[in-house]
Structure 1
């Protein structure tokens, strides 16, 4: 078993940034954790090919939570590789599948009402991005403590950033994939965008929860791999 981070450099609204989806390899079968913004499939695919893997090996896509920078390319992946199974928490699956209006969209619409004229331009763009996400059916719904990926991965409920956010713990590798429960800033694990957390208190508890696992490696979607113990 192995976990590889996929550094994806992209341009959004004139700015260059990098995200780090994770690729989990178990018995030559691939699980991609989160899919980036819309239209990033080609970049993710190319990065996988550079690592020596092909799309025929892709078995699962696991979504940590329903935010447009994590699910933006999910529909494209499912359209191009229909055999791939989509895995998400029971809560987030309602938004991914389009059965319920997402918490993030409700939050964004509420925040728009209080924004200045300058801020509202971004707010309107953000709302349109969320509304443009196409629904995708979730094949497997998971809950806190579930064991998946041939018993190699334990699902950790880490609510706060969103209600159904999950992180992934791999005891054999002493590794956590954090999603947005933690980001790496200045070589520290901190809360991702606390101003946008749907429940900041829960987000703080979730950050402590994954820190208390005392893993050696934390794969952060924003900021990249964090090593918490000496090599």
Structure 2
């Protein structure tokens, strides 16, 4: 299901996780891809919004987790010439060149979920803090995973936060310990987004209902 949050931004509400469609002057972007068996739901959401995977110029991954990258391989099979981007710390996991570490609970769960996460055979652009891709600015936000990134789009007044935070009853909260690689990094990552993004209305989260207005203020309350 595709829900237009604001002009140029659609929420793809999947079961238990969100992906997003973003249209700007640089073309159409898909932010995250859902679970492996949700790829067809993403395709249907694209159709509802008036697009198809052939229209997608780039796929922006917030991080490596099965519910955010699982549908990627299937979706790429019906796409055209698409650029795939991910934070540098997670990019090699997406292509299968490296496995998650077993030294933290997060890595163990990623290893297990990796049995359901098909790696891709297309190049993945490794993004660093401050990089630009299309109309987005990349903000490094480690903590949930080492290579987690957020994407800030000033022109569309939106920030795509992945699992840096999750929404619950209209408020945002940090990713919990069991699901994170290093929770001590999360407050600093939130502050990095706040410092880089002076204003944004929509806080587009991976889990829970996205906040359509007052998103930056809601994120600031997390670390106040």
Sort the TM-score into its range (normalised by shorter chain): 0.7 to 0.9
Which 5+ residue runs of structure 2 have no aligned equivalent? Answer: 1-6, 218-224
- Which residue among 196, 200, 203 is the counterpart of 2:179? 196
Task: Name the CA shift for 1:185/1:36 in 2 (closer, same or farther; >3 Å).
Answer: same
Which 5+ residue runs of structure 1 have no aligned equivalent? Answer: 10-17, 112-122
Task: Name the CA shift for 1:99/1:189 in 2 (closer, same or farther; >3 Å).
Answer: same
Q: Does 1:50 align with 2:48?
A: yes
Q: How does 1:60-99 map to 2 (within 5 A)?
A: 60-81=58-79, 83-99=81-97
- Which residue among 176, 192, 205 is the counterpart of 1:220? 205
With normalisation by structure 2, the TM-score equals: 0.82
Q: Structure 1 residue 211: deviation in Å?
A: 4.2
Q: Structure 1 residue 37: deviation in Å?
A: 0.8
Instruction: Give the conservation status (yes or no) of the 8 Å contact 2:106–2:181.
Output: no
Instruction: Give the conservation status (yes or no) of the 8 Å contact 1:29–1:59.
Output: yes
Instruction: Give the conservation status (yes or no) of the 8 Å contact 2:53–2:78.
Output: no
In structure 1, the partner of 2:13 is 7
How many angstroms apart in 1 are the aligned matches of 2:76 and 2:52? 15
Task: Name the CA shift for 1:29/1:174 in 2 (closer, same or farther; >3 Å).
Answer: closer
Q: How does 1:79-158 map to 2 (within 5 A)?
A: 79-81=77-79, 83-103=81-101, 107-108=104-105, 127-136=111-120, 137-149=122-134, 152-158=135-141
> Which structure's CA Rg is the greater one?
1
Task: Name the CA shift for 1:110/1:55 in 2 (closer, same or farther; >3 Å).
Answer: closer
Q: Structure 1 residue 98: deviation in Å?
A: 0.9
In structure 1, the partner of 2:39 is 41
Instruction: Give the conservation status (yes or no) of the 8 Å contact 2:56–2:80.
Output: no
Q: Structure 1 residue 127: deviation in Å?
A: 4.5
Q: How many residues align?
A: 206
With normalisation by structure 1, the TM-score equals: 0.80
Task: Name the CA shift for 1:110/1:40 in 2 (closer, same or farther; >3 Å).
Answer: closer
Kindly report structure 1 stretches of 4+ aligned residues shifted beyond 3 Å. 105-111, 211-214
How many angstroms apart in 2 are the aligned matches of 1:81 and 1:173? 24
- Quick check: 54-63 or 33-42, which moved more? 54-63
In structure 1, the partner of 2:190 is 207
Q: Structure 1 residue 108: deviation in Å?
A: 4.7
